[in-house]
A and B are shown apart, each in its own frame.
Chain A
């Protein structure tokens, strides 16, 4: 009743192909954007911004990148943490070594470093796939772990291996408060998400999905598997690299190589699986889930334990987090392999025909 498309007839192919063809969706999105840009910085407190919203935005960006590679192009990657690291350290070196380097170009250059790294470690995808490719991407992860730990040049010969950035500015405006940082990340996410959505609904997106679904048939149509796979690695690593730079600069401010370990790679993969492979909006759902879950457990478990009279330590909560993650992954894979985004579309379907059951 509320979500009816009646009367919304398209007279041009352009109108049919737009990102949000249903008018209600368009209103909702504009409302959401207005809320996110205007209302949230005014209403949200420091803790909400720093602990939940900013990590959510940056992780959504990273999950977006991972989804392009794993969800749209079907190339499994367990090395996303490494791409984030390369982006972070790349942007750091650009910012610190080149005098007068502004922030956004430094981030973009960091992304380009990650892009090059991604293409290099994406080469095995031309030879192997599936779990063999997974092992190859782990090589990227451990190699990155090593170069940022041992090759002092990347960390400007810092004795402890950790580096930091401070006094960030964008176009002369300082990025000091949590609200400033939030808006900056939101802006970057909005731009990149739009570009990514454009890519996946255009010819290159169809090439990626063709390779994912059946690469032999794709070759017969004239799609070059090499170009499709490497471009997926390139675009994906670029986005993940920028997310890594944002994570380091905006969220952490000071970091060491362990911040981008294999654990982060697994978390990113979980985000896209739970959120929904092959779905832009799914990346947001997955990121929100994974960012919020530990905080949720941290609040709920001790309280629940107290009711039953059991003392639950922080260590126990982190173990419980592991168990919940693991169980959820398995549950999603069995029940809804297409993740939260599928549940979302089913919800919308039901809403379309509400109040009728079918």
Chain B
């Protein structure tokens, strides 16, 4: 097994603070993510992990701090810009498009790469005058590769709302993968899964990291998974960073232990 080549810093979060009215979600968070690595963000419930991802994605605008991606610094991220830069994500509460089939959901991930305009799509025809048909078929082929990879072929035409939770989580991943991202933000991808499903999901994540070299930022509660697959870990508690380093280093960090288990007085 060859050693994975971890590159330079590709994503840098600096002094991010986020407040909602009187509630402070994040205080002065700084950490970096290196290319090709699997970076985990862990912490007790309510620590601000999802909010951190939301800031990176442009869903929330932090009051202070900045985020750098490949050398470019931004005070405020715009969701579309972030998607164009090659950062994709999954959602903790599954933000799938319930009214569409599995194929269509994953196809929406190809949206940024679809070139034909509205008029061309309207006159779509089997002879591909205007190019829309050929393009649609090419993207469908790409999506089918993802469906094969995630082993969900049997369900491709089903409306996603009718599928079980574990499958929906896989489709969420598939949609993010369809964007051919450089950085993949995964928000609790294994929540609510049993052991087998978790093993499958871990395998998918590691395969994505191995085969495509995608940098992974992963929020996860299952400590076993985190220790097994991540290269480095950030620990948040009450919106503050209390640990940062390799899994082993973080595991023996006293602040982390007391945050999870509580200190005795």
Contacts and interface: CB of A to CB of B under 8 A. Distances in A.
Contacts of B111: 203, 206-207, 221-223
Interface in A1-29: 12-14, 16-18
Interface in B40-89: 57-59, 79-80, 82-84, 88-89
Q: Which 3 A-B pairs have the closest CB atoms?
A: A222-B83, A217-B95, A213-B97
Contacts of A18: 126
Most buried by B among A196, A198, A235: A198
Contacts of A217: 91, 95-97
Most buried by B among A13, A204, A217: A217
B109 A221 contact: yes
Most buried by A among B79, B83, B112, B141: B79
B140 A202 contact: no
Given A13-B137, A14-B126, A209-B99, A221 B83 contact: yes
Given A218-B108, A220-B88, 14 more contacts: A17-B136, A195-B123, A198-B124, A202-B121, A202-B136, A210-B97, A213-B96, A214-B98, A217-B91, A220-B82, A220-B89, A221-B83, A222-B79, A222-B112
A220 B99 contact: no
Contacts of B100: 206, 209-210, 213
B168 interface: no
B175 interface: yes
B87 to A, nearest CB: 9
A278 interface: yes
A70 to B, nearest CB: 13
Contacts of A220: 57-59, 79, 82-83, 88-89, 95
Interface in B85-120: 88-89, 91, 95-100, 104, 107-112, 114, 116, 118
B174 to A, nearest CB: 12
Contacts of A195: 122-123
Interface in B132-155: 132-133, 136-137, 140-141, 144
Contacts of B132: 198, 202
Contacts of B133: 14
B13 interface: no
B179 A221 contact: yes
B156 to A, nearest CB: 10
A203 B116 contact: yes
B99 A212 contact: yes
A293 interface: no
Contacts of A221: 83, 88, 108-109, 111-112, 175, 179
Given A209-B99, A218-B108, A204 B121 contact: yes
A209 B57 CA distance: 21
Contacts of A214: 95-98
A207 B118 CA distance: 11
Contacts of A210: 97, 100, 108
A224 interface: yes
Given A206-B107, A213-B97, A222-B111, A198 B121 contact: yes
A203 B121 contact: yes
Nearest to B95: A217
18 contacts: A17-B136, A195-B122, A198-B122, A202-B136, A203-B114, A203-B116, A207-B108, A207-B111, A212-B99, A213-B97, A213-B99, A218-B108, A220-B83, A221-B109, A221-B111, A221-B112, A222-B79, A222-B80
A323 to B, nearest CB: 32
A106 to B, nearest CB: 21
A12 B97 CA distance: 26
Contacts of A278: 99
B140 A13 contact: yes
Contacts of A224: 80
A199 interface: yes
A218 B97 CA distance: 9
A125 interface: no
B80 to A, nearest CB: 5
A16 B88 CA distance: 28
B137 A209 contact: no
A324 B88 CA distance: 50
Contacts of B82: 220
A307 B123 CA distance: 55
